């Protein structure tokens, strides 16, 4: 355990709720492994208190913050600057201290990208199905459009939300490759084609582990790779269905890992070594009781 002294720097997480967060494991493990005098603490911030929390953190010389649900959009109005990609996505999950205030970044998107690279999942030139049209789905769709996917289909229960998300991502990425569909829209896609599918709805999240947003086997025959953004449980119903149909599937824990790694790198102005990344990942799995 780190010895807190007069030089200890503080980083933290603001959200509501924050009790189940794994982020302290990421940052405190890294700080300990690197011998850096830094601690990371979750802060439960109630509705209406975000601005005060950010101003208070700055006044207290807090080095950096993560921001989680439900404040990733709201926090933007409390910042001194915003990174271009975070601005286009319209969500910030990392605050980096500058002279006058905090600058906002979105390491969810870059974290997803690094997680996909680490699993050898290709985006460029691919046709990609995104399930869901909430904040996580938008960030994933934006990343895919930006990294040269040839086509991105956003499938959502509420088609109007998919349409709004597709329009926004097309406008902000200037790619024009994003198309909206209802959740059954895959039925109109060619049967012989295989897609990368990113599961970005909240369906299947613990404790509803038997649920998947699409149960139809017909859908899974079209998937060569399934990436679920959910990491609790570590094998979702979506992942099982992808595997049963012969595809490869991945959970969202590496995305969580890399969004944390990127935040830590931004706060400290360093690159974390591959060895330390693997060390942190093992600690995260241990903390969550994941064996594979």
Tokens, residue 210: 């038997």
Among 33, 36, 151, 161, binds ligand ATR (CB under 6 A): 161
Residue 237 belongs to what H/E stretch? helix 237-244
Q: Does 132 bind ligand ATR (CB under 6 A)?
A: yes
Interface pick for ligand ATR out of 68, 93, 156, 225 (rule CB under 6 A) = 156
8-state DSSP, 102: E
Which residue's CB is nearer to ligand ATR, number 30 or number 241?
Answer: 241
The residue among 45 and 62 lying less far from ligand ATR, judged by its C-beta, is: 45
Question: Which CB atom, from 172 or from 202, has the smaller least distance to ligand ATR?
Answer: 202
278 token code pair = 């693997």
Q: Among residues 33, 51, 52, 72, which one is catalytic?
A: 72
Smallest distance from the beta carbon of 29 to ligand ATR, in angstroms? 25
158: contact with ligand ATR by CB under 6 A? yes
What span, in angstroms and rounded, lies between the C-alpha atoms of 61 and 164? 39
Q: Give one DSSP letter per residue of 20-83, joined into a string.
A: T--HHHHHHHHHHHHT--EEEEEEE--TT-HHHHHHHHHHTT--EEEE-TT-TTGGGGG-SEE-
Q: Which of residues 29-68 bind ligand ATR (CB under 6 A)?
A: none
CB of 221 to ligand ATR, least distance (A): 20
232 vs 283, which CB is nearer to ligand ATR?
232
Strand order in the sheet with 178-182: 178-182, 151-156, 127-131, 195-199, 223-228, 248-250
Residues forming the active site: 72
């Amino acid at each position: 355990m780190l010895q807190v002294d007069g030089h200890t720097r503080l980083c933290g997480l603001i959200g509501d709720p924050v009790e189940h967060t794994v982020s302290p494991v990421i940052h405190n493990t890294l700080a300990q492994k690197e011998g850096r005098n830094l601690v990371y603490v979750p802060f439960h911030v109630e509705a209406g208190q975000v601005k005060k929390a950010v101003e208070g953190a700055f006044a207290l010389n807090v080095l950096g913050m993560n921001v989680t649900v439900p404040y990733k959009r709201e926090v933007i109005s409390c910042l001194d600057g915003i990174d271009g990609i975070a601005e286009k996505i319209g969500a910030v999950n990392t605050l980096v201290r500058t002279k006058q205030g905090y600058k906002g970044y979105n390491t969810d998107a870059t974290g997803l990208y690094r997680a996909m690279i680490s699993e050898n999942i290709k985006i460029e030139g691919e046709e990609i199905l995104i399930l869901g049209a909430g904040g996580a789905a938008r960030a994933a769709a934006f990343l895919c459009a930006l990294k040269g996917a040839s086509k991105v289909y956003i499938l959502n229960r509420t088609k109007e939300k998919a349409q709004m998300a597709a329009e926004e991502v097309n406008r902000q990425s200037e790619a024009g490759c994003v198309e909206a569909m209802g959740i059954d829209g895959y039925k109109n896609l060619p049967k012989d084609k295989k897609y990368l599918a990113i599961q970005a709805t909240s369906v299947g999240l613990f404790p509803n582990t038997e649920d998947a947003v699409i149960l139809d086997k017909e859908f899974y025959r079209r998937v060569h790779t399934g990436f679920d953004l959910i990491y609790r449980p570590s094998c979702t119903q979506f992942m099982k269905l992808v595997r049963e149909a012969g595809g490869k599937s991945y959970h969202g824990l590496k995305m969580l890992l890399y969004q944390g790694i990127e935040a830590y790198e931004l706060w400290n102005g360093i690159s974390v070594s591959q060895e330390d990344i693997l060390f942190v990942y093992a600690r995260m799995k241990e903390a969550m009781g994941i064996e594979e």
